[in-house]
Amino acid sequence: MVREDSTYEVIKSKEDFSEWYNQVLSAAGILDTSYDMKGMFVWMPYGLKIMKFLRNEWDKLFNEHGIEEVYFPQIVPMKYCKINKAWWEGFKEEGYKVIAGSDDKVQGALRPTGEPAIYPLYAQWVRTRNDLPIRMYETVSSFRYETKQTRPLIRDREITNWFEIHTCHATKKEAEKELLLHVKFLDYMFEEMLALPAFRVNKPVWECFPGAVGAYEYYSLLPDGKVMENGSANNLGQAYAKKFGIKFKDEKGKEDYAWMICTGNGGRFLAAMISEHGDNKGLILPPRIAPIQIVIIPIIFKGKEQQVWEAAEKVKKELTSSGLRVHLDARDITPGRKFNDWEVKGVPLRMEIGPREVENKELVIRARFSDAKTTMKINDLKSIGKMLDKIQNDMLDKSREKLKDSIIFTNNKKEIKGIMENKKIAKMYWCGNQKCYNALVNLNEGYEGFGTSINSKGSGKCPNCNKTGHEELFIAKSY
Ligand SMILES: [Zn+2]
């Protein structure tokens, strides 16, 4: 349902990203941010519909590749939390502890991540090589008592609509193959669904998830010039299997620990998509995840009502029957206000039909992304699907170009700060030495390095030691 009472709200300039972002979330009907619990928000129907497109897509993707959905309880027993001491040290300050009834004894923690809930059970399920691989995922909430400033979908205390894949394998080689499959999943979600470039880097091991031996991390550059970590695929090696006792006997009776992979992401997908594509009028949705792809606005004139309604209904029927998501706005308000409402909600195409269009057997189409206005013959409606595909591709192309223009190369340490003050990402070649990494990343407070490129073809001078570096290092302000 579309909210009938949506206000005629003027969206603030995107220049002030923080204000703009909060206003768009609420005006477009994504979230209600007034829930009286810091860092927790209400998903509104329109927002949830967009999120459902993403969820349905990953459900389909994972199931097609034999990764099965599972569900573990949200409360993790305290004894599970403490199995991996390093993990518990990292998360205990952010944990929500659970007490029940009048008993003050802490019974468990609301899950901050999936590992302590899932891995003790994996340890029970894995006995022999025949029990492997285990390939499962769940879509859940995670809870973290964040002390930094919270921001909807970017830093929440309840991280909702979050998927986690956790797999166990008998060999290192098999696990590494699995990791690359997860990278493909994340690339696909970014590029094909969200129309965002998959900005993927390889993390130095000291920057990985606690205990991981390697990771591919994804980042999004937000309009305020800060990068946001946006999904990761982690190679856990055998470290977690050793902590949780996930081991098996091979054919010869020899015992070995499982090789493990985990991947996760969720609402941040949406945060990046909204921030990247939106403008001063509100959201701009990529057609593939738009709950409404086309909105039809009848322009009613006295005496011509019936012809206009009939034509609008007919167009709706034809588009719907070809599998498109269409809404006919029948509200008794001015067309101008309807235009505004659907612009805020980012609907990719708007069709206007009035008496003149009925007479000429045509309609006026306005594309939200390009703002282009065209007139189309009603019997050409078959081409609308192609038009939506083109919008989806153009959005990705624009976003790729923008990222490319935002990455500024330097081999001079002194230039790094200025690049970031300019809301850009500094890129440099790096010698691979941890000391140089720390020196470059910690050059200025509040800036963060975020890993090395996996596709580095070139080489250049490391800005810290002047030796030749073959790895790309990016540095930006970060969330
Ligand atoms: Zn160096």
What's the pLDDT tens digit per position in 408-421? 999 999 999 899 99
d(CA 172, CA 236): 10
Query: What is the CA(100)–ligand 1 centre distance, in A?
Result: 54
pLDDT at 455 (0 to 100): 65
Query: What is the CA(222)–ligand 1 centre distance, in A?
Result: 29
Query: What is the CA(478)–ligand 1 centre distance, in A?
Result: 22
Quote the percentage of the chain above a pLDDT of 90: 81
How distant, in Å, are the alpha carbons of 58, 195, 400, 404, 446 from that of 61? 5, 17, 24, 29, 37
Query: What is the CA(468)–ligand 1 centre distance, in A?
Result: 8
Query: What is the CA(225)–ligand 1 centre distance, in A?
Result: 26
**Listed residues: CB within 5 A of ion ligand 1:** 431, 433, 436, 462, 464-465
pLDDT at 351 (0 to 100): 98
469 strand-pairing partners: 460
pLDDT of 453 higher than 80: no
d(CA 450, CA 441): 9
The CATH code that applies to domain 292-390 is: 3.40.50.800
Query: What is the CA(465)–ligand 1 centre distance, in A?
Result: 4
pTM for this entry: 0.94
Query: What is the CA(439)–ligand 1 centre distance, in A?
Result: 9
Query: What is the CA(463)–ligand 1 centre distance, in A?
Result: 7
Residue pair 378/315 in contact by the 8 Å Cβ criterion: yes
**Can you say how many angstroms the Cα of residue 253 is from the centroid of all Cα atoms in its chain?**
44
Alpha carbons within 13 angstroms on the beta-carbon side of residue 61 total: 20
pLDDT of 6 higher than 70: no
Residue 301 binned pLDDT confidence (cut-offs 50, 70, 90) = confident
pLDDT at 479 (0 to 100): 84
d(CA 45, CA 49): 6
Average pLDDT (369-394) is 96
pLDDT at 467 (0 to 100): 95
Of residues 292 and 5, more confidence is placed in 292
Domain residue spans in the chain?
Answer: 17-277, 292-390, 407-478
Quote the percentage of the chain above a pLDDT of 70: 97
Q: What CATH number does domain 407-478 carry, 3.40.50.300, 3.60.20.30, 3.30.110.30, 1.20.1600.10?
A: 3.30.110.30
d(CA 143, CA 91): 10
d(CA 277, CA 380): 28
The whole-chain average pLDDT of the chain stands at 93
pLDDT digits (tens, 9 = 90+) for 94-136: 889 999 888 888 889 999 889 999 999 999 999 999 999 999 9
pLDDT digits (tens, 9 = 90+) for 61-92: 999 999 999 999 999 999 999 998 878 888 88
Query: What is the CA(17)–ligand 1 centre distance, in A?
Result: 35
pLDDT of 2 higher than 60: no
Enumerate residues 6+ apart whose C-beta is below 8 A from 343: 281, 282, 350, 368
- Domain with residues 17-277, CATH architecture: 2-Layer Sandwich (3.30)
DSSP H or E segment with residue 409: strand 407-409
pLDDT at 7 (0 to 100): 52
Query: What is the CA(13)–ligand 1 centre distance, in A?
Result: 41
Residue pair 257/247 in contact by the 8 Å Cβ criterion: yes
pLDDT of 1 higher than 50: no
pLDDT at 208 (0 to 100): 80
Tokens coding 384: 């609308």
Enumerate residues 6+ apart whose C-beta is below 8 A from 372: 366
Within 10 Å of residue 435's Cβ, how many Cβ atoms?
A: 10
pLDDT at 213 (0 to 100): 87
| Helices and strands: H and E segment counts in the chain | 14, 25
Alpha helix positions (H), 299-383: 305-321, 335-344, 355-360
pLDDT at 206 (0 to 100): 83
